[in-house]
Structure 1
């Protein structure tokens, strides 16, 4: 018999969202078990870290390096929102292969498309399953999924799934609309966290013995300057394709596709060394990695990341703009500055000090259950 486990991912939950005095039930998980800060995988974007958490491995193993892809051989590029990009077994697949019941409840439809092929119970707020909604006694989700109400809806659905079916393993994740648009101390953010906390409290009451982990895929920081690096490089002799690993369809969260990491593909490989030196002259660049350095130091897969990986300084992000630069007041993620995320766990498999990255949750589960 497989152990009961629940993993809740609060998308974009920087630690400040848990410091506003409105999340007593979430903090109770930490009191019963432990609460600390750990690291996400880089770049600190959603798809990368769903894959990292669910497989218990870094991108160099599971091969998901962003929300978007570019194939330099064909010129094809697009959103990662289906099967075929993940190269490693998830904990959901692991449980299913052993006859255990699983649930994947998400706000964004793309998460279910990428990771939900073998789950027993699947639900997302974007492309609804009327039979599952009826089975759980739920109302239909809000029309716009990039709103706080969609998070409230999926958390209620997760609670009702646990109450009605008691699956062996459930992975539930929200959408980070609130974190992109509201500072932690705003009324909207506090209300969002208060509602999430309410449902987590009810889930905790259902089965105090269940293994429960609450974490995030990335943090969130305010940015005051956006840079369109492609437009800047188009004015130089360098022939490049700049890919934003954060780029996705949810423009309510980031209207300029703004994120603090970027992959640069040199179309003319003979220019790579000079391009690298040119990028070092920009004051908005915090760190630069060659492909080889990114593979070794960041544990990124070589093929999807181009020839150069760069991260911006704290208050800067890269985006798709009409001009080369734009002064803004936005909140986004993708860099090392949004890599710190909380973990709260009860009935965890290892002591507090063993958890350093969000992938450790499933890594330790896999190690124990494979014996």
Structure 2
């Protein structure tokens, strides 16, 4: 059976992972792999893209369209943090069913909660299992809003590989640092350096193991935050506006700001009025019907409202006081502009040109 490690560096735009920040891994890639830029799924948010990476499928098949849900029929809404939302089988489940041993290591607890089915070993830095800490000789994890959290979770995964040699290991970090620091900054460089050191050692000791390093989404500065719900309310439009980026990690995006918005119309007769209003908003780059968005982004049409709004490169939809906030303090994602992500592969199954999206990693694995 194949031996595989997939590391997802949360929020890692290509500018963060470079030959200057990860010289050891880039040197290895020249010898037995490649580095390229690929694309993630839309919306470019965490839950959506872990579902794609873990299954090799688009959101239309996974059924995961955000970090938050809203049911217009019942009015129920909430954070997606537990099992039951993922419709497609994951490579963890496929590997386990084939008789392989699997492990899932994550900084954010929700990743284990939503995608933990099929993991023989599961460890979260947010809510660590003391039994596994003792088993791998690990110290109590640092706060998840730290550079050290990345180093801790990656080393935990490597410790597991060294001691138990599972067939498939999926490991992911937290994007707290990238939400607050641009490429080239010392905190951002330190986060990548931790990955470079640890995985270069692992690759040297386990040359037979396929190693894939990618991201769930990229990251950009957002200078204008738009409270579209407040604007629609003022215009007399009855809507429910859902930013698919919304989650409990408020320290990452304090305004729940993201580049895509699902809009549910509560009054069908307002469809034309809403369309005219949304298209007249300068911060809204494009207005798509649910059918258009589903076709373009491979989304399940019945889960994304009536309209899907896209913000410009330096804009985001968020939950701010009033209707508009101009700021220099926001770095976020969710839009088309955060779709480009890195892929560094060692021992990949297919040639470089075969990988266009991060989901292709799982699509080609033979579990």
- TM-score by length of structure 2 reads 0.97
Contact 2:217 2:338 in 1 (8 A): yes
Residue of structure 1 equivalent to 2:79: 79
Q: SS in structure 2 opposite 1:161?
A: helix
Superposed, which structure 2 residues align to 1:219-368 within 5 Å? Answer: 219-329=218-328, 330-365=330-365, 368=366
Is contact 1:218–1:341 with CA below 8 Å preserved after alignment? Answer: yes
Provide the secondary structure at the position in 2 that maps to 1:292. helix
Shift of 1:26: 2.6
Where does 1:3-152 land on structure 2 (aligned, <5 Å)?
3-19=2-18, 21-31=20-30, 32-142=32-142, 144-152=143-151
Contact 1:233/1:240 (<8 A) preserved? yes
Asked if the contact 1:20/1:184 (under 8 Å) is kept, the reply is no
Residue 20 of structure 1: CA displacement? 6.8
Indicate if the aligned counterparts of 2:19 and 2:26 stay in contact, CA closer than 8 A: no
Task: Say whether the 8 Å CA contact 2:106–2:153 is kept in structure 1.
Answer: yes
Cα offsets for 1:299-335 (capped at 9, x unmatched): 1112221011111001101110111011112110000
1:102-147 alpha-carbon deviations (Å, 9 max, x no partner): 01000000000011122111100011100101100110101x2122
Unaligned runs of 5+ in 1: none
Q: Tell me the secondary structure at the aligned position of residue 269 of structure 2.
A: helix
Is structure 2 residue 169 aligned with structure 1 residue 170? yes
Q: How many residues align?
A: 365
Query: Within the alignment, does 1:214 sit opposite 2:226 as a pair?
Result: no
Distance apart, 1:349 and its partner CA: 1.5
Cross-structure match for 1:156: 155
Q: CA deviation at 1:149?
A: 1.4
Q: Which residue of 2 aligns with 1:203?
A: 202
- Asked if the contact 1:29/1:345 (under 8 Å) is kept, the reply is no
* Alpha-carbon separation, structure 2, partners of 1:203 and 1:81: 31
In structure 1, distance between residues paired with 2:236 and 2:90: 43
CA contact (8 A) 2:48 2:67 kept: yes
Q: Stretches of 4+ moved more than 4 A in 1?
A: none
CA contact (8 A) 1:20 1:190 kept: no
Per-residue deviation, 1:38: 0.7
State the distance in 2 between where 1:269 and 1:83 align: 33
**Structure 2: which 5+ residue stretches go unaligned?**
none
Q: Equivalents in 1 of 2:248, 2:279: separation in Å?
A: 31
| TM superposition score normalised by structure 1 | 0.96
Contact 1:311 1:335 in 2 (8 A): yes
Deviations 1:2-39 (A, max 9, x none): 21111000011111112371311232343121111111
Structure 1 counterpart SS, 2:288: strand
Q: Please give the root-mean-square deviation of Cα atoms over the aligned residues, in Å.
A: 1.1
